[in-house]
Structure 1
């Protein structure tokens, strides 16, 4: 059994503030250790549940947060950017399950460090007219590969968002949002044990393989910055529906790759940090 792990940082055990998750933040180096240990707990669970191999993709920010020398030696790590598929780089139809570690809720939801990909720049995203964030886009793209999401860890808002997209996914809350930069924390040892046990049970559970479809999906993105929206129609197939909203149609996973191109254009145009 091949397991794919996408590792974000905002939903990691004990982390609540930009200082915990942004390079240069006063607690970022400690945050990297916490992230690595949450991933290690998930990896232990995956192997205990029957995984024969585990690929981990560092999916947060600069995508070079995980500490390779402290990571479980049984895993293969993808680190750094840019990556054409961003948070799901390396995922293929050959995998049996996806595990999401350290995820957060979408923009507009009261969750710990909630945002959608670019905290200052993206106001909302819709997939087939349904509001979506990082969790929903990942789930839809994994399904297009025929790979089910088995487990997700993060705060209670992220867990609720995952359940809305797929109620069969095992969710492990490691903190409970009090506000965007405050949470009631699950004790570290308890959280790590829950991650390990939850992932083990999730990968052991037989799951229905999603039906692979090449039908087109609609993706609309509303930006805070009209300048971003004005540049994106230079990409074939992209149209602007108002000053700040762009629309494109394509099948998954092509649509996810195209959206990652949007992010690179937006990054080139803007220089805002990812949180308020």
Structure 2
């Protein structure tokens, strides 16, 4: 059994603030250890379920967060950026399951460190007119490969968001949101034990993912009209209004194109704010 892990940071055990997840935040280095240990718990659970290979993709921010010297030596690691498929880099139809570790709720939802990919630069995302964020897009991209998402860990709002997409996905809430930068934390030992045991159980009872190759429609509303304007230079991309772009394609092409959107946005918004 080949298992794929996409590891984000905002939903990691003990993390609640931007200082925890953005270098050079005062607690960022400590949070790298917390992130690595959450991933290790999932790796242990996967091998207990019979995994023969676990591939981990460092999917947060600079994508250089996980500490290789502390990572379970049985895990393979994809580190660094840019990556054409971003948070999904390395996933193939040969994988049997996806584990989402340390995920967060979408922009506009009152969850811990909630946002969609780029903080304030992205206001909303819709997939086939359904509001979505990182969780929904990852789930849809995995389904396009025919690979089921078996597990998600994060705060309770992220878990609820995944359950709304797919009730069959097992979830582990490692904290309970009190506000966007505050949470009631599950004790570290308890959280890691829950991640490990739930991973094992989820992989032993995998649900079937039906491959979806249909044309999907992605719409993204940006904070800046300048970003939307630049993106219309990409073939197939049109504007719904001054700040919203729309494109249709199969899901894997959409996901790759969306990662190109992020790189364009980074280039366009790299200047300091005018006001």
**Same fold? TM cut 0.5:** yes
In the TM superposition, residue 213 of structure 1 has moved relative to its aligned partner by 3.0
Aligned equivalent of 2:239: 240
In the TM superposition, residue 74 of structure 1 has moved relative to its aligned partner by 0.2
Aligned equivalent of 2:253: 254
In the TM superposition, residue 38 of structure 1 has moved relative to its aligned partner by 0.3
What is the SS of the residue equivalent to 2:203?
helix
What is the SS of the residue equivalent to 1:3?
strand
Q: Distance in 2 between matches of 1:49 and 1:150?
A: 12
Contact 1:32–1:66 (CA under 8 A) maintained in structure 2: yes
Contact 2:148–2:206 (CA under 8 A) maintained in structure 1: no
Q: Distance in 2 between matches of 1:89 and 1:184?
A: 32
Aligned equivalent of 1:14: 14
Aligned equivalent of 2:166: 166
What is the SS of the residue equivalent to 1:120?
helix
Number of residue equivalences: 272
Contact 2:150–2:206 (CA under 8 A) maintained in structure 1: no
Q: Distance in 2 between matches of 1:182 and 1:108?
A: 16
In the TM superposition, residue 214 of structure 1 has moved relative to its aligned partner by 2.3
Deviation string 1:61-100 (CA, Å, 9 cap, x unpaired) is 0000000000000010000000000000000000000000
Q: Structure 1 runs of 4+ off > 3 angstroms? A: none
Q: Distance in 1 between matches of 2:138 and 2:38?
A: 20
Aligned equivalent of 2:185: 185
Q: Which runs of 5+ in 2 are unaligned?
A: none
Aligned equivalent of 1:220: 219
Q: Distance in 2 between matches of 1:56 and 1:19?
A: 24
Q: Distance in 2 between matches of 1:80 and 1:272?
A: 23
Matches within 5 A, 1:1-276: 1-208=1-208, 210-271=209-270
Q: Distance in 2 between matches of 1:213 and 1:70?
A: 37
RMSD: 1.0
What is the SS of the residue equivalent to 1:117?
coil
In the TM superposition, residue 272 of structure 1 has moved relative to its aligned partner by 8.2
What is the SS of the residue equivalent to 1:70?
coil
Contact 2:33–2:66 (CA under 8 A) maintained in structure 1: yes
Deviation string 1:8-31 (CA, Å, 9 cap, x unpaired) is 000000000000000100000000
User: Structure 1-normalised TM-score?
Assistant: 0.97
In the TM superposition, residue 206 of structure 1 has moved relative to its aligned partner by 3.2
